[in-house]
């Protein structure tokens, strides 16, 4: 019997290395694949879209906000992976009654690296976890050199419409915006605040509005709508996965951010 602590300080008792894994967090399902654990994944959510073929080979147990309890039980998992933001307390409680449940809680890149190390130990893939951590650190170091002399720009990052909602403080998105020298005009508000566009219009310093590709499917007409509430701010569509998916997706994020800075200059 071994004891493992998750990222919200809960202690899990694990008898042996888990071989039947259910993951209720899309970005962490991708991380499991990159850790070489595909054969041990038995259940995923309908939003676990990377790699694309996975939903044809694994059992879908619901979404991130609602689960099929009977499906989880039928899979007889050794462990269930959740996330504090993605999954509710109620879901975690139900999962705990089925199998040991590990909950991640990620706001920064350091939190991500800590989780990758945790998974390396938990699933006995320490060397692969270390390899991913080292690659992320290398990419991060290179990006910090790239961004060092970039001009600070004031931005808003929208994730939803009706009501309009933006990323605020205590989010992984805000952390990555800061890393990019994008000063979030809503960083003084916690989590994902509803935004009054008339009030946003009063901010004459706003340089860029980002429209995330997820979870809301923003289109050109939404960009045009927002432009009416700015003082010549650029509206740019961005890949939401590269701003909000922690885990091994970070390996693709920094090159994307470099391209994004070039776009923000050209547009």
Residues 135 and 157 in one domain: no
H/E segment holding residue 79: strand 79-83
Q: What is the mean pLDDT of residues 171-188?
A: 98
Q: Does the residue 54 lie in any domain?
A: yes
Q: What is the DSSP string of 90-140?
A: HHHHHHHTTS-EEEE--SSHHHHHHHHHHHHHHTT-HHHHHHHHHHHHHHH
For residue 233, the enclosing domain spans 150-266
Can you give the pLDDT at residue 266?
Answer: 55
The pLDDT of residue 33? 98
Average pLDDT over residues 22-40: 98
Q: What pLDDT does 20 receive?
A: 98
- For range 129-134, the mean pLDDT: 98
Query: Using one digit for the tens of pLDDT, what is the confidence trace for 206-215?
Result: 999 999 999 9
Q: Is the pLDDT of residue 31 over 70?
A: yes
Please tell me the number of Cα atoms within 13 Å of 38 on its side-chain side.
Answer: 13
How many structural domains is the chain composed of? 2
Q: Once rounded to an integer, what is the mean pLDDT over residues 123-129? A: 98
Tell me whether residue 34 is in a domain. yes
The residue-averaged pLDDT of 103-124 equals 98
d(CA 208, CA 162): 21
Helix (H) / strand (E) element for 150: namely: none
What confidence score (pLDDT) does residue 166 get? 98
SS3 call for 3? strand
| Cis, bond preceding 213 (omega within 30 deg of 0) | no
Give yes or no: residues 133 and 161 share one domain.
no
């Amino acid at each position: 019997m071994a004891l493992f602590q998750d990222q919200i300080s809960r202690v899990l008792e694990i008898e042996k290395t888990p071989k039947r894994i259910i993951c209720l967090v899309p970005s962490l399902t991708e991380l499991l694949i990159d850790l070489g654990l595909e054969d041990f994944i038995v259940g995923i959510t309908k939003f676990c879209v990377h790699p694309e073929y996975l939903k044809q080979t694994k059992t879908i147990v619901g979404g991130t906000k609602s689960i099929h309890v009977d499906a989880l039980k039928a899979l007889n998992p050794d462990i269930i992976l959740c996330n504090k933001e993605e999954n509710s307390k109620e879901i975690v409680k139900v999962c705990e009654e089925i199998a040991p449940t590990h909950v991640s809680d990620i706001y920064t890149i350091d939190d991500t690296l800590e989780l990758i190390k945790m998974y390396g130990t938990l699933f006995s893939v320490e060397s692969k976890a270390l390899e991913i951590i080292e690659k992320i650190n290398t990419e991060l170091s290179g990006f910090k050199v790239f961004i060092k002399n970039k001009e600070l720009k004031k931005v808003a990052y929208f994730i939803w419409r009706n009501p309009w909602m933006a990323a605020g403080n205590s989010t992984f998105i805000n952390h990555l915006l800061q890393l990019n020298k994008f000063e979030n005009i809503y960083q003084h508000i916690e989590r994902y605040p509803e935004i009054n566009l008339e009030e946003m219009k009063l901010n004459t310093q706003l340089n860029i509005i980002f429209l995330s590709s997820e979870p809301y499917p923003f289109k050109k007409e939404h960009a045009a709508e927002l432009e009416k509430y700015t003082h010549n701010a650029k509206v740019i569509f961005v890949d939401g996965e590269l701003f909000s998916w922690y885990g091994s997706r970070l390996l693709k994020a920094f090159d994307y951010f470099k391209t994004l800075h070039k776009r923000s200059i050209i547009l």
